[in-house]
Structure 1
Amino acid sequence: MSLTTPRRTPKESAEIDAVLSRHPVIASVKDDDGLRAVLGAPCPVVFVLFGSVISIGGIVGTLKAAGKTVFVDVDLLDGFSSKPVVVDFLKASTQADGILSSKAAIVRAAKTAGLMAIHRLFLVDSFSYNNVPKQVGLSGADAIEILPGCMPRVISWLREDVDLPLIAGGLVCDKEDVIGALGAGAVAVASSNRGVWLM
């Protein structure tokens, strides 16, 4: 399969590559128990997959105090609309380093605001796969996260065709999944499985 995506600037490449190269396992945190657990985990990068307009500042602050690089999934925050203004709020009211979103307009807004931005892409069939270049072209993302992440064959196709760091997320449950994703060309894996965090 042949896809074309926009090239990143050297500055954009260096920033996201530096973040993702520190450790190939990203901790995805879905609740307060996960938040407490990740504070002592060796994962320097955390994806926050929960929170609300009231709690997100505290969640991000706790992680930053523990020395973590924090990306907030803005699509999963309670009390926010799916509009680019959520990025302005996060930039002004939290210490988040970046965002995750499946919406190209929100990813683009994060880039404009000076935040790192990861475009989440749910690949469920050939139609969604073939739509990747259009979505990435619209968003200008620093990296993409593909879900589910336990698809080494698809990861290798994308790695050949997309000029962005690729993160495998969702259903990354064990060492075999991690090795398969990284071996296929993913630069990192994201998982909420605490056993994976310790690899």
Structure 2
Amino acid sequence: MAPSPSPSGAPLVPRLASAFAEVPVVASVIGTEPLRQFLTAPAKVCILASFTVGQLPKVVPALVRAGKTVFVNVDSSPGLAQDRGALDYIKSLGTHGVVSTRLSLIEKGRPLGLLTMMKVFVTDRSNLSRSLDAVSRGAPDLVEIMPAPIIGRMTARAQRAMSPSVAAGFVETPAVGGGAQGPGGGAGAPGGGRAPPAGRRRARRGGGGASPPAAGGGGAPGGGGGGPPPPPPTPASGICAATSCRRCRPPH
């Protein structure tokens, strides 16, 4: 298959740009426990995970009525097949976007009118190369990069090729993943504890550099040996726990 044009430096689609202009976070709503809090939270964009195929017809319309932009992680929705039928189904519920690690689903989502977010796990240089190829071919609206600290090890060229992006997992301080806020982490809480019910990620736009790597670290995946660390990014938006971050939890 011929690769699709790279999304390098691509702007956010208007719906997401507008939502992030109001509140630059996205809530990761995992299961029903944090759902009630998120319904009244100021954050406008969410990712639903761990909702069964039977729960989605109630949850998605309720969030849409509340003015939220809803992504469904089809890889983590019990009962949903990972095929075109699953995308047709979530689209029929009013879902705005799909999250998946699977290139085939990202490619199928756009013709259906769904926003697409490709999730990639960057663990080493060879994995980074495969991820860059998948992103180039799928041309998603957003790339979810895990774990967040790896962004500080990526070259500026790799960051541009995966932009606009969402940093996820181990987002513990403003310096990691572009400046997330609040305690806890998307993949694991600080100190290796369990993650909270709603994870947290940080989104970044365009070709801004990542936070500098920790002192004593190795070279950047995908190239980039010595030289000064890249400048810190200008955060565009982020993903936060709906119940743990003061920016997106409901007012008291």
Same fold (TM over 0.5): yes
The structure-2 alpha-carbon separation of the partners of 1:27 and 1:198, relative to structure 1 and needing over 3 Å to count, comes to same
The residue that corresponds to 1:195 in the other structure is: 244
- 4+ aligned runs moved over 6 Å, structure 1: none
Deviations 1:120-169 (A, max 9, x none): 11111112212222101222211111112244414663665316311112
- 1:143-154 alignment to 2 at 5 Å? 143-154=142-153
- 1:1-199 alignment to 2 at 5 Å? 6-7=6-7, 13-92=13-92, 94-154=93-153, 157=156, 160-162=159-161, 164-175=163-174, 177=176, 179=179, 183-184=232-233, 187-192=236-241, 194-196=243-245, 198=247
CA distance in structure 2 between the aligned counterparts of 1:36 and 1:156, rounded to whole angstroms: 40
CA distance in structure 1 between the aligned counterparts of 2:118 and 2:242, rounded to whole angstroms: 21
Q: TM-score, normalised by structure 2?
A: 0.67
Deviations 1:36-80 (A, max 9, x none): 111122211111112111111211112112211111111111112
Question: Larger Cα Rg: Structure 1 or Structure 2?
Answer: 2
CA distance in structure 2 between the aligned counterparts of 1:121 and 1:130, rounded to whole angstroms: 11
Gaps of 5+ in 2: 181-201, 205-231
Alpha-carbon contact 1:30-1:192 (below 8 Å) kept: no
Q: Tell me which moved more, 128-137 or 156-165.
A: 156-165
What's the Cα RMSD here? 2.9
Q: Tell me which moved more, 78-87 or 155-164.
A: 155-164
Gaps of 5+ in 1: none
CA distance in structure 2 between the aligned counterparts of 1:158 and 1:190, rounded to whole angstroms: 23
CA distance in structure 2 between the aligned counterparts of 1:143 and 1:26, rounded to whole angstroms: 12
The structure-2 alpha-carbon separation of the partners of 1:134 and 1:48, relative to structure 1 and needing over 3 Å to count, comes to same
**1:5, distance to aligned residue in structure 2 (A):** 5.4
Q: What code does the residue aligned with 2:241 have?
A: S
**1:112, distance to aligned residue in structure 2 (A):** 1.1
CA distance in structure 2 between the aligned counterparts of 1:159 and 1:188, rounded to whole angstroms: 19
Structure with bigger helix share is 1
Overall identity of the aligned pairs, in %: 21
Alpha-carbon contact 2:29-2:49 (below 8 Å) kept: yes
Q: What code does the residue aligned with 1:69 have?
A: T
**1:27, distance to aligned residue in structure 2 (A):** 0.6
Alpha-carbon contact 1:44-1:68 (below 8 Å) kept: yes
